[in-house]
Amino acid sequence: MRATSHALGQVRTPANGADGLLTVIVPVFNEVATVEEAIRRVRSIDVAKEIIIVDDGSTDGTADRLAQLDGVVLLAHGRNRGKGAAIRTALERATGDVVIIQDADLEYDPRDIPALYARFRSGDVMAVYGSRVLKRGHRISSWLYYWGGRSITLVTRLLYGIALTDEPTGYKLLATDTLRSFSLDAEGFDFCAQLTARILRNGGRIVELPIDYHPRSRAEGKKITARDGLIALWVLTRERWRPRILARPPLVRESGDRGLRPIVDQPEA
């Protein structure tokens, strides 16, 4: 079903690809208890930003909570289509030159976003990932989820020859035009795996920074399952051997420069 759009309040809408504006994409599905606080925390970070929320067919009252928010762009799917589909819907409306995905369940702390954003702005990377594993004393929701994530990361390292610590992290930040150029078609949680694979298949460099993580359990509403992990492994393997998707050289912001140049870095061995 086609997404509907509702612009609420004073929404900053500069020209497409506006320099110095971060687009925060918030896919939401049945998060009535946490979505307002998640948006409040995003609003509080000291970064020029726009917030694009996609209600992915919620049925628990989330839509009513979102309708009360001001100063955001609100989009809606008529039915639940998946996290990847929600991100792609938001990407069509993004006006910032850089984009990051923010979950609405309070597992990730938006106060980590400025550091990720600043590292990207310093140049020489295609993407900046927030690594939960690099954080000293990092938390886990269960050993099943922990080892599932570590397994996905290990497979990524073996397939692509990169020293990555947390592939399935929710915090992935990169240039909006670069993300669009990948023509991602993942519908669900496999969006993360497909994005990582296409960054690496096209010679992009990923830098990781430690982030806080406050995991929740299945009983508390966590939605990802073992099946999603298996799909991610399949996507990583499939993408490793398919032709490169990117039709033009990826771009990276140069330090001390407001322009973009083709990236030449190779994945770290």
Stretch 241-268: mean pLDDT:
46
The pLDDT assigned to 228 comes to 76
80 - beta bridge partners? none
The fold of 1-105 is: Spore Coat Polysaccharide Biosynthesis Protein SpsA; Chain A (3.90.550)
The pLDDT assigned to 123 comes to 87
Structure tokens given for 189: 């949680």
Structure tokens given for 190: 């496999």
Q: What type of residue sits at position 34?
A: T
pLDDT bin (cut points 50, 70, 90) of residue 80 is very high
pLDDT over threshold 70, residue 85: yes
The pLDDT assigned to 143 comes to 52
CB atoms under 10 Å from CB of 201, counted, come to 20
Asked if residue 200 lies in contact with residue 162, where contact means CB atoms within 8 angstroms, the answer is yes
Nearest Cα to Cα of residue 177 among 75, 89, 113, 99: 99
Pairing outcome for strands 206-210 and 127-131: parallel
pLDDT in tens, 102-117: 999 899 999 999 999 9
Phi, psi of 53, deg, nearest 5: -105, 135
Nearest Cα to Cα of residue 81 among 132, 10, 29, 153: 29
pLDDT in tens, 23-78: 999 999 999 999 999 999 999 999 999 999 999 999 999 999 999 998 999 999 99
The pLDDT assigned to 112 comes to 97
The pLDDT assigned to 11 comes to 33
pLDDT over threshold 70, residue 256: no
pLDDT bin (cut points 50, 70, 90) of residue 149 is confident
Residue 137's Cβ-count burial label (10 Å; 0-12, 13-18, 19+) is exposed
The pLDDT assigned to 141 comes to 65
Extents of the domains making up the chain: 1-105, 107-249
pLDDT over threshold 80, residue 198: yes
* Helix (H/G/I), strand (E/B), else coil: 141: coil
Which range has highest mean pLDDT (45-54, 133-142, 184-193, 258-267)? Answer: 45-54
The pLDDT assigned to 135 comes to 80
Structure tokens given for 198: 């296409």
Query: DSSP secondary-structure letter at 112?
Result: G
Asked if residue 251 lies in contact with residue 260, where contact means CB atoms within 8 angstroms, the answer is yes
Asked if residue 84 lies in contact with residue 101, where contact means CB atoms within 8 angstroms, the answer is no
